[in-house]
Amino acid sequence: MQRFILGSRNKIAFISGALILAAFLSKWTVGNLAVFEGLLIIASILGTLPIAIQAYQALQVRVVSIDVLVTIAVTGAFFIRNFEESAIVTFLFLFGAYLEQRTLNKTRSAIKELTEMAPESALKQMEDGEFVEVPVDEVDVGDVLLVKTGAKVPVDGTVLAGEGSVNEASITGESIPAAKDPGSRVYAGTILDNGTLQIVADRVGEDTTFGRIIELVEEAQDSKSEAERFIDRFSRYYTPAVLVLGLLTWLFSRNIELAITILVLGCPGALVIGVPVSNVAGIGNGARHGILLKGSEVISDFSRLDVMVFDKTGTLTIGKPVVTETEYYDSSIDATLSYLASVERESDHPLAKAVLEAIGETSYFPVSDTEVVKGAGIIAAVDGRRVAVGNQALMEREGVQLNEKARADIARLEKNGSSLVLTAVDGELKVIMGVRDKVRSGVKGDLQRLRRLGVKQLVMLSGDNQGTVDAVSRELGLTEAHGNMLPEDKAAYIKRLIDEGRIVAFVGDGVNDSPSLALAQIGIAMGGGTDVAIETSDVVLMNSDFGRLPHALGLAKATARNMKQNIAIAVGVVLVLLTSLIFSDWMNMSIGMLVHEGSILAVILNGMRLLRYRLPNRLTRGI
């Protein structure tokens, strides 16, 4: 019976409202007071049932809840034959709960939308080569799947065949479809806008990026910040205190109506709900924009951030070295590039890959007598010639003469932060290539936005040499930049900042960044980074989109402000109501309950504004 009554709360609220309306219509039209009072009594009893049941359940676990206060107040009003007050208060309380639930459901719409996007089936290739539709739970790692136009990608995988455009908004927040061809990565929950793809499953079920997103957002929305924990503790003592105040008022004044009115006016509903609704809405906004905020505690620390520390490779830079500049010292360019490509093809060094990519299509020669000079480069015989490929130290070892132009070029490229690949053929310098890990597009503007959001220091830590680090720092306008840093050096630097009382965020993407991500108050991982970095972090930028970082910080600050506003609204309304009760004669139980429910809706609607949050234009102008 209790379950049935609680399940019918909304119906009871509307029936109670209809009875109250009928009662007043009978009084205003035919003036029948017996019908008026009878309908109000029925409305009071009916409305009190679900409230009293919840009060009883709360008292069973030794909690004096809002329902307890309202039940006592309504019962008191009923027995002093103030049926208007008892009926109206129960209706307003139930109707307010209905509106609260409706609006709170909207704040959780982000996680609801995510779960609805989860794929339910997949076209799996069977042993006979045919593709058969199966539940997504029956897909295993290594299975080959077919994805058709308009279908959801069922797993994280790699494209084996076909081409198409995939809408990855559910993962990255980016609405522009991403082109996919053989070798491209695809993610569960994304939608193939056009084309047909065959993919091999790399991750399935909860292990997919999409599954992890849902899990992280659910955990984040269920977590509590220090502010919420404080309010929980506060309300645990505040509600019994209101009950005691009402009792004392009755004992000293013998005015039971005043006492039960105090019980209604002192309900802390808006205070209890104000902070959680802000956090849930903020986390939901982040999820929609490709930002995972792992809990409300993260939001609190993030909003007070004053130092942001970055890893370089893969964070501020793309993480893939490319040849940015080439200088030639001989007219036989094609032959020299063929010799260089032949040697570099023997190496798996990142610089070698960058050089081969820059050279492109060329002819190759057999390579023999290869000698690797540690820390300097490679010497080999190619087409009967002695070819040396490496740094300046290797050229000096080989006795290669560097003219003034070559030395000037070397100095300029090193100043720009480039790693040098020099090539000599039979003791003569032929070509110098400058290789750099390019800065991510738009990073400089994003860093300026972070400054405008109040970040006082922007620091870069990298394992690269100091010259390269300084060049990137000058280009981006960073506060500090430190090179030759091992993982333990980065962690020690973070610890020193924290010991100085700074609130520090660290942004990285690799396994070597995990100690720093864990140590900083706010660890921010690039979503395309390693699993351990993502698990260790507090904030994840999906698809490694650095441009999401200013939005994430702005959202955290907006959410923290919203929490404070909601607390101010809740406390302010209670103070105004109690003051009005003491110093005026117009305040009564019905008006108090109406204002009380209005304050709850006010904090919910204020929190819901965060669902539409975007970085203000003033933070993007002039960049």
Question: 10 Å Cβ neighbour count for 250?
Answer: 17
Residue 82 CB partners (closer than 8 Å, separation 6+): 257, 589
Between vectors from CA 281 to CA 173 and to CA 96, what angle results, nearest 5°? 145
Query: What residues have CB less than 8 Å from 51, skipping those under 6 apart?
Result: 67, 70, 71, 74, 90, 93, 94
Q: Is the pLDDT reported for residue 309 higher than 90?
A: yes
Q: Give one DSSP letter per residue of 11-26, joined into a string.
A: HHHHHHHHHHHHHHHH
Which among 311, 464, 513, 545 is annotated as catalytic? Answer: 311
The Cα 557–Cα 112 span in angstroms is 24
Indicate if the pLDDT at residue 236 is higher than 90. no
318-361 per-position pLDDT tens digit: 777 888 889 999 887 888 899 999 998 887 777 788 899 888 88
What pLDDT, on a 0 to 100 scale, did the predictor assign at position 76?
Answer: 74
Lookup: tokens for 39: 């309908």
Q: Please report which helix (H) or strand (E) contains residue 599, including its range.
A: helix 589-608
For the chain, how are helix, strand and coil distributed in percent, rounded to 5?
55, 20, 25
Percent of the chain with pLDDT over 70: 85
Short-list 477, 481, 450, CA closest to 463 = 481
Q: What is the reported pLDDT for 38?
A: 87
Residue 584: partners with Cβ closer than 8 Å, 6 or more residues away = none
Q: Residue 96 and residue 11: Cα distance in Å, rounded? A: 13
What value, to the nearest 5°, has the Cα angle with vertex 306 and ends 304 and 309?
A: 125
Q: What is the pLDDT of residue 112?
A: 56
CA distance 139 to 283: 31
Say what percent of the chain tops pLDDT 90: 15
In 3D, which of 424, 350, 349, 421 has the Cα closest to residue 382?
424
Angstrom distance (rounded) from CA 263 to CA 73: 6
Whether residue 143 lies in the annotated active site: no
Average pLDDT over residues 385-411: 90
Q: HSE-up of 172 (CA within 13 Å, CB side)? A: 19
Given a contact cutoff of 8 angstroms between Cβ atoms, the answer to whether 265 and 582 are in contact is: no
Both structure tokens of 186: 């695809």
Burial class (CB in 10 A: 0-12, 13-18, 19+), 184: middle
From CA 70, how far away is CA 86, in angstroms rounded? 10
Q: If DSSP codes are grouped into helix, strand and coil, which group holds residue 440?
A: coil
Quote the mean pLDDT of the chain: 80
- Return the HEC string of 264-278: HHCCCHHHHHHHHHH
- Give yes or no for residue 529 having a pLDDT over 50: no
**62 is written with which tokens?**
């030794």
Given a cut of 70, is residue 172 above it in pLDDT? no
Residue in 440, 455, 472, 439 with CA at minimum distance from that of residue 619: 455
CA atoms within 13 A on the CB side of 368: 4
Contact 439, 312 (CB under 8 A): no
- Specify which residues 482 forms β-bridges with: 461
A 10 A CB-CB count for 288 gives 16
- Cβ contacts of 74 within 8 Å, gap of 6 or more: 44, 47, 48, 51, 86, 89, 90, 260
Q: How far is residue 577's CA from residue 570's CA, in Å, rounded to a whole number?
A: 11
Tally Cβ neighbours within 10 Å of residue 503: 17
Rounded alpha-carbon distances, angstroms, from residue 157 to 68, 89, 128, 145, 467: 54, 57, 22, 9, 39
Q: For residue 365, give the H/E element and its range.
A: none
The helix/strand/coil state of 525 is: strand
Name the token pair of 68. 């307890």
Which residue from 516, 191, 284 is spatially nearest to 529, judged by alpha carbons?
A: 516
- Count of CB atoms situated within 10 Å of the CB of 73: 30
Q: Tell me how far apart the alpha carbons of residues 480 and 461 are, in angstroms, rounded to a whole number.
A: 9
Confidence of residue 307 (pLDDT cuts 50, 70, 90): very high
Q: What would the pLDDT profile of 562-607 be if each residue is shown by its tens digit?
A: 988 988 888 888 888 888 877 777 777 777 777 877 887 888 889 8
DSSP, residue by residue, 331-347: S-HHHHHHHHHHHHTT-
Residue 260: both structure tokens together: 């039960």
Q: What's the full length of the chain, in residues?
A: 623
Q: Which one-letter DSSP state was computed for residue 177?
A: P
> 465-481 in b/e burial notation, b at 16+ Cβ within 10 A?
eeebbbbbbeebebeeb
Tens digit of pLDDT for each residue in 444-472?
Answer: 999 999 999 999 999 998 877 777 788 88
Task: Name residue, tokens 């430190």.
Answer: 482
Backbone angles phi, psi at 321, to 5 degrees: -65, 140
Residue-level pLDDT at 433: 92
Of residues 92 and 252, more confidence is placed in 252
- Does the pLDDT at position 221 exceed 60? no
Domains of the chain in start order, with CATH, are 2-108+221-278+562-612 (no CATH), 120-154+156-203 (2.70.150.10), 319-438 (3.40.1110.10)
Measured CA to CA, the distance from residue 533 to residue 523 in angstroms comes to: 9
> Which position has the token pair 């802000």?
278
Q: Is the dihedral of CA 404, 408, 409, 414 positive or negative?
A: positive
| Greatest extent of the chain over all pairs of C-alpha atoms, in Å | 118
Tokens of 138: 């029956």
Region of poorest pLDDT, from 245-254, 380-389, 531-540:
531-540
**At 500, is the pLDDT very low, low, confident or very high (cuts 50, 70, 90)?**
very high
pLDDT of 217 reads 54
Question: What does the alpha-carbon distance between residue 268 and residue 589 come to, in Å, rounded to a whole number?
Answer: 15
Q: How much is the average pLDDT of 289-295?
A: 79
- Convert the pLDDT of each residue in 43-89 to its tens digit: 888 888 888 888 788 778 776 667 777 777 777 777 777 777 778 77
Condensed to tens digits (0 to 9), the pLDDT of residues 416-429 reads 778 789 999 999 99
Nearest to 519 by CA among 309, 303, 296: 309
